[in-house]
Chains A and B, each alone.
Chain A
Amino acid sequence: MKNKEKKSGIGGLMRGLVRKQIFIPIAALVILTIFNYIMDPTFFKITLSPNSLGYNVLSGSIITILDNGSELAILAIGMTLVTAASGGQDISVGATIAIAGSVILRILCGGQTSPDTLQAPVIVAFLVACVAGMLAGAFNGALVAYFRIQPMIATLILFTAGRSIGAWINNNTLPVVKDPSFAVYGGFIPGIAVPTPFLITVACIIIITLVLKFTTLGLYTQSVGINEESSRLNGLNPAFIKFLTFVILGLCVAVAALIKVSRISSINYSVIAKDIEMDAILAVALGGNKLSGGKFNMAASIIGAYVIQFLTTTLYALKVDANALPAYKAVVVIALVVLSAPSVTEKISALGKKMKPKAKEVA
């Protein structure tokens, strides 16, 4: 509290902090880039070579990061809004990806384990998955907004049950889609060299940018996250806005689920999108957004998502065992968070001030 008051003393300083917000993920990105370049000078090499289906596609470490970071970046969009409005996080996204993914497969396979043809158009499956994702989001949102349960706890319910519900939808079978046209969403569109997931992510980013520009979603979510009662007295419906952010996140989940199941044309309920909720939350935090809600910076969150993916890829490149990965990730995350903690930055800037003492007077 004390620290906060100190900081808010003057506008210039706050502006500096806002500038700094996007600075954190970008700095992390730069450090990772330099590190990778030193470890492996060919890191940035991007080649155009034919893939297994015979047409030319881009490949290289950077492309891998952009490709694999797609689901995370899409989730970060929804998670940022949920965080801003509700001051909490949705930890059920991984589990709801299992639900939405299971729905997609159920519809595409029509209840069979491994049919030779698609039993329904992909778009139908996707739309139904969107409905499922939004329903899951609506369930979480209703608990948070109307029953006033803390978001982390409310979403704990689906976190616990989601993967089981996913298994239940397909009666615990693992349907496989044989039709190669489904693999496009997690792979490449014939003739286009850029991975489809990245294109989908770009589309999502464009959509959210337009939404934030042409609606007041940004102002409303921030306002509700900062002061709910005051927002209500200004004619807003805080409960509905919180609810809405969860539904939007549900939509993001459905898109991410499409990419995820398309990648392997099947599903593994207990492994699909495992720990992705943690990564998505970290992306928001790395973006310098307060996890307690209020002001947010969408661009910073999305960059944060790619930083997390970059880190994962880097660690793999260093031959770190997949199961040990979290330990290294944790160390990096803690280092970043400690360095950006207000109490630490203050001490650092105080050190700087001692070297050059001056007091500025402001009216």
Chain B
Amino acid sequence: MKENAILEMKGIYKIFPGVRALQDVDFTLCKGEIHALMGENGAGKSTLIKVLTGVYEKDGGDIFLEGLGKAAVIRSPQDAQKLGISTVYQEITLCPNLSVAENMYIGRGDGAVQNWKKMNADADKILQNLDIPARGAQQLSSCSIAIQQMVAIARAVDMDCKVLILDEPTSSLDEKEVEKLFGLMRDLKKRGVGIIFVTHFLDQVYEVCDKITVLRDGKLVGEYEIKDLPRVQLVSKMLGKELDDMSDIKSDALAYKGKDADTNVFEAVGLQSNADIKPFNFHIKKGEVNGFTGLLGSGRSECVRAIFGADRVIAGNVKKDGKEVKIKKPIDAMKLGIAYLPEDRKLDGIVGDLSVRENIILAAQVLRGAFKPFSKAETYKIADEYIKMLEIKTASADTPIKSLSGGNQQKCILARWLLTHPDYLILDEPTRGIDVGTKIEIQKLVLKLASEGMSVTFISSETDEMLRTCSRLIVMRDRKVVGELSNEELCQSSIMNTIAGGGTTDEK
């Protein structure tokens, strides 16, 4: 092993039926370093992590750990824990029915007897130290997702691990919580813990990491010091090609120029749902791209859900194309030509076991009605058309959608809604968790659709993405609309100001 190294993975192979997920991948982690593991979706990051944590068994290669002398045998998450490797996953891997303290201590430690008092006290102490607003005795399911994620991190931190793996832990945290997490990471680094950090957020990588290892298509691209690898190069290494100029995709030539460009396609006054948001006013014009922005949990998703009738609407008047309408459930909105791509692709979007074809036609079929099914031939024709149009990478139209990569799944869902020929399309985080290449494709598509007269509402956690696509932004804070920005006001700093509440806004 190299000097100072705490973990060395050498020549790792992992083969799934028909796919080489990892090929001859090396990875080295040193003491007290934060090491970013980067790559597009399907590059093999998650597989590498899962091999290291014993969720998958590797098909070749060796893993060495400091002070172990021989190659480590990791066959299960328990083995990994015992060897001092702890992991925080993107999705919460805790048990909702247990208490916070139990979630922190279960599955580790010796002895057969559970000492509740001591456990709760220990847990409370750690939670307090890390400034996490939860109590040990509380049932986990009564905490918010962000706090649950912090609890998972607290568990990992408390395990006296040598290697800490953070697999996209920040996607459900807001900025403050991310800051807190970074503080924690730096603290652990000082204590000599090696941290592997997987994330899609480039800013975060450059903020905390020391080194970057890039994977592409299951192969190692290289290991770099952070200072030697500027952002643009990192992205091109991940994509394996030079980057288009991302900032240039929005241009006036693409704007919708129809005569009816000034009419409101959708209008809402005092709209409110049972998802705990304040009543809000909203409108969108034909061919316009606007967006809701704000911190996570500010209520931006809930607003569009209220528009689509996904949550129960409790107040407000809604007009579609100038006519008063009632939208109580999704089908009402769909019939009015509104489409909604939900925030959580896995939970609310895809129907996992069904084929790509069935997933694509689903919404259009529901609109046609239960007694007018598409014929099989029609569905193949439609599916093939959209697979080609959106460049969906799938073995065939009959492949179950769950076996596609995140980006391609998202394109299928997009295809599903485009097939309903909506005149108002709502996209809630269409680019979350998908690779840079697909992100740009989707952004371009949005602008193209708008230029053809479709109205689009776009939500994204990445402000620069919003700035690139939207011509008007509705800013939210604490579950209410606090401002609206357009034209020259559209810049990073004014958004931040409005969110923070310092800007010149028409706050109610």
A interface residues with partner B (beta carbon < 8 Å) = 2, 5-15, 213-217, 219-220, 222-223, 226-227, 229-237, 294-295, 359-362
The answer to whether A235 and B330 touch (CB under 8 A), given A216-B370, A216-B373, A220-B370, is yes
When distances are taken between beta carbons in the complex, the residues of chain B under 8 Å from A10 are 16-19, 395, 399, 403
Bound-complex Cα distance A359 to B353 (A):
26
Which of A220, A237, A295 is close to B353, meaning CB atoms less than 8 Å apart?
A: A295
One of B207-215, B342-350, B381-389, B444-452 at the interface: B342-350
Bound-complex Cα distance A232 to B354 (A):
16
| Chain B interface residue number, banded | 35 or more
Bound-complex Cα distance A8 to B355 (A):
11
One of B65-73, B140-148, B360-368 at the interface: B360-368
A81 to chain B, nearest CB (A): 14
Does A229 lie within 8 Å of B347, measured CB to CB? Answer: yes
The answer to whether A230 and B349 touch (CB under 8 A), given A11-B403, A214-B371, is yes
Secondary structure of the A contact surface, majority rule: helix
A220 to chain B, nearest CB (A): 7
Closest to B341 in A: A233
Given contacts A11-B403, A220-B370, 18 further A-B contacts (CB under 8 A): A2-B56, A8-B403, A9-B19, A10-B19, A14-B400, A214-B373, A216-B370, A216-B373, A227-B347, A229-B348, A230-B342, A230-B351, A232-B330, A235-B363, A237-B331, A295-B353, A359-B15, A362-B19
Bound-complex Cα distance A207 to B19 (A):
43
The answer to whether A226 and B353 touch (CB under 8 A), given A11-B395, A235-B334, is yes
Bound-complex Cα distance A9 to B20 (A):
10
Does A7 lie within 8 Å of B358, measured CB to CB? Answer: no
Does B403 lie within 8 Å of A235, measured CB to CB? Answer: no
Does B353 lie within 8 Å of A234, measured CB to CB? Answer: no
A78 to chain B, nearest CB (A): 18
Does A13 lie within 8 Å of B373, measured CB to CB? Answer: no
Which of A8, A9, A223, A294 is close to B362, meaning CB atoms less than 8 Å apart?
A: A223
Bound-complex Cα distance A67 to B367 (A):
42
Which of A2, A217, A230 is close to B348, meaning CB atoms less than 8 Å apart?
A: A230
Does A222 lie within 8 Å of B354, measured CB to CB? Answer: yes
Which of B18, B353, B365, B416 is close to A219, meaning CB atoms less than 8 Å apart?
A: B365
Bound-complex Cα distance A232 to B55 (A):
33
Does B17 lie within 8 Å of A7, measured CB to CB? Answer: yes
Q: List 23 A-B contacts (CB under 8 A).
A: A2-B56, A6-B17, A9-B19, A10-B395, A11-B396, A11-B403, A214-B371, A214-B373, A215-B370, A219-B362, A219-B373, A222-B354, A223-B358, A227-B350, A229-B348, A230-B347, A230-B350, A233-B340, A233-B342, A234-B416, A236-B331, A359-B15, A362-B19
Bound-complex Cα distance A214 to B331 (A):
21
When distances are taken between beta carbons in the complex, the residues of chain A under 8 Å from B347 are 227, 229-230
| B6 interfacial by beta-carbon distance below 8 Å | no
- Could you mark each residue 295-339 of chain B with 1 if its beta carbon is under 8 Å from any beta carbon of chain A, else 0? 000000000000010100000000000000000011100100000
Does A217 lie within 8 Å of B354, measured CB to CB? Answer: no
| B394 interfacial by beta-carbon distance below 8 Å | yes
Closest to B308 in A: A233
| B10 interfacial by beta-carbon distance below 8 Å | no
| B278 interfacial by beta-carbon distance below 8 Å | no
A152 to chain B, nearest CB (A): 20
B331 to chain A, nearest CB (A): 4
When distances are taken between beta carbons in the complex, the residues of chain B under 8 Å from A9 are 16-19, 403
When distances are taken between beta carbons in the complex, the residues of chain B under 8 Å from A7 are 17
